[in-house]
Amino acid sequence: MADVRLRHSWQLDLESARAVARGTHDNLFAALGPHDTQDGRVIRAFLPGATRVEAVRRSDGDVLTVLEPRGENGLFENLIHDRAPYRLRVFWPDTVQETEDPYSFGLLLGDVDLHLFNEGRHFELAHCLGAQVVTIDGVTGVRFAVWAPNAKRVAVVGDFNSWDRRRHAMRVRHGAGIWELFVPRVAPGSRYKFDIVGPGGNQVPWKADPVARQAEMPPNTASVIPQPDHHRWHDDVWMAERAKRQAPNAPITIYEVHLGSWLKPDQRNRSGSLWDFAIERLVPYLVDMGFTHVELLPITEHPFGGSWGYQPLGMFAPTARFGPPDGLLRFVDALHSANIGIILDWVPAHFPTDPHGLARFDGTALYEHLDPREGFHRDWNTLIYNFGRREVQGFLIANALYWLEHFHVDGLRVDAVASMLYRDYSRQAGEWIPNVHGGRENLEALGFLRHLNAVVVERCPGAIMIAEESTAWPGVSRPTSGGGLGFSYKWNMGWMHDTLNYMTEDPIHRQYHHNDMTFGLLYAFTENFVLPLSHDEVVYGKGSLIGKMPGDRWQRFANLRAYFGFMWGHPGKKLLFMGGEIAQEREWNHDRELDWPSLQDSAHAGIQRVVRDLNRLYVSEPALHERDCETPGFQWTVGDDRANSVFSFLRYGANWSPILVVCNMTPVPRHGYRIGVPLGGAWREIFNSDSAFYGGSNVGNEGRVAAQEFAAHGQPYSVEIVLPPLATIYLRYDG
């Protein structure tokens, strides 16, 4: 019914009233809330569906005025002769609600916040943008803030307003392009999204909050107002010692885990979140196996579980699949109490195109490049961040710091760095745009990575940044001050591909592939390397690690034991994807837990014992880790015995007994094999992958050998040893 009453001068004009009712008014702060007119102060509220609205004094609840309805469109207004703070008493058909007026509050974000955001240097975005539970003028509620500089109108919709896009339109802070609104009395746990009208008046699909710290369970896509964090940390000792525990001279053995498929909890007996289950089962397992770190595949919220988290959209939200965010805090605390570090896979290289996400967030290419030659990954059908935009750089750096600082995470493994470094990555001629110098290097991404790593060094003492970078880009793990990218470590993808290629060969053919095992030592000390046997090697038809090994069943298990021995003896930190340590036969499937029952088989249990013992040796023997990243930590003794497929090298610590690592990659045992060593006296056999304890044939050296003053391989002494078949042995100098 049309409003045919005579309009007073203090009433909202008809055109504006209609715009409010339609949800097209572009500045509700100019229409709603308290306003001074020539007739006095007027209060207006838009509450469609309400039957009566009263303005009451905050201090005592006395009714100041009854707001009169303007027809049946939900607009209420009236003059008020008291300037005291007020709240609204709203009579709905089935309840009465009291709440403060969102449009009675002033500006929310400070000028410093806006300036730092525009500069890409606001590193506390997790506590600035998004949904923040705050108290303003004694009123508790939620401050919403979102970056949408090209939007014509932005509103927050959610459980608290019946998802009515007309109810809570936001105020824009011009210059920064940030929209803000304080909604009183909204409770944590409420779901919300942003309703955005683009610059041309086009309606954008409802968007999840880019800085949401919690999201609802997929496939639902709303953001969730998080509970305030009251976690009390118990890891002061760990944090104080973290820098030395993660330094290049420290032992680092990483167990890579997809938490959702490591072990499935029995749903009948499960209480608590998957984080609690991980505290109960995964933490003790890591301790028992001797791993120093766990690395989780991406836990940021992602719409498609089959991406394993590598196509994230909720960059600030731990996935709801594992439980509320406070569970992650408890999990990290439990790890640190057990002297285990945690690394998270982090994906700043790309994001998916789901309509509720970052794609064309405000109706324009905001987070991504407009031109698909710069902004679209064909390999993954994803969008590429615009690293040249300061606000986007700041968003990503603030996100990295959120995980490192708020959750006490010890490091981030940065995914797909190679795709960031090169403009022509996986592109043909004509499908990419050169940089300003005509080259293929992505200068903006380089600037972002160097900035990111420099900020992490400054703000997060002892935290590490690890690059998954598959090319020969120089200086990835060298300081930015010397022209490097500033990462702490780099995955050695070349080592992984070469050595796996060697191990898949039948032993009779390995002599023709000898360089695959030795080539990595030509560049082993050009970077601080991690040797990765990651999830990528056991998916998409590649089979399992044990499935790659040739020969009959005994030989396959012997090959894997020998390969692990070679890997743990080789310079570089270690990473093993879950399932490798139990020689899982089938390829990894993210929908199924690991094949734990296989440990009832002695061969599988033997592989687990090998990994457990290698971890403990690697940690306890400085020669195996102290100079992982230094040339003096390694010396070939036998690197050219192609005919016998034998490799032998020495590992050195700074002031510790050296260790001789010897690998026989054929099924032929070799007796009386002479190898040069630097010192005379006893050399103790401290590891033998052919031990019967591991499922081997128990060929060995009866615990020790004596070095004779007989020069060999450029060394003044030598030992004559027995090389077990398809095995690796370690001999430590005990003279």
Residue pair 436/447 in contact by the 8 Å Cβ criterion: no
**Residue position matching structure tokens 């990462």:** 487
As given in the structure block, the two tokens for residue 245 are 């525990």
Question: Does 628 qualify as catalytic in the annotation?
Answer: no
> Which residue from 319, 324, 294, 316 is spatially nearest to 308, judged by alpha carbons?
319
Torsions phi, psi for 375 (to 5 deg):
-115, 5
Comparing CA positions, the residue from 545, 554, 548, 506 lying closest to residue 724 is 554
**Which residue bears the tokens 């060394």?**
715
Of the residues 415, 516, 527, 685, only one is catalytic, namely: 415
Are the beta carbons of 375 and 433 closer than 8 angstroms?
no
Q: Say whether the peptide bond before residue 219 is cis (omega within 30 degrees of 0).
A: yes
Place of tokens 């099924």: 667
Other Cβ atoms within 10 Å of 277 Cβ, number = 22
CA 84 to chain centre: 49
Helix (H, G, I), strand (E, B) or coil at 516: helix
Residue among 678, 690, 676 at smallest CA distance from 728? 690
d(CA 458, CA 478): 16
Determine phi and psi for 659, rounding to 5 degrees: -125, 130
At 15 the three-state DSSP class reads: helix
CB atoms inside a 10 Å sphere around CB 383 = 22
Query: What is the three-state SS of 105-146?
Result: CCCCCCHHHHHHHHHCCCCCHHHCCEEEEEEECCEEEEEEEE
User: From the candidates 209, 468, 621, 685, which is the catalytic residue?
Assistant: 468
Instruction: Please say if 100 is a catalytic residue.
Output: no
Q: What share of the chain is helix, strand, coil (3-state, %, to 5)?
A: 30, 25, 45
Distance CA 437, CA 158 (A): 48
**Of 330, 341, 177, 170, whose CA–CA distance to 251 is shortest?**
341
- Integer Cα distance of 648 and 503 in angstroms: 17
- Residue 199 preceded by cis peptide, ω within 30: no
Task: Show which residues are catalytic.
Answer: 415, 468
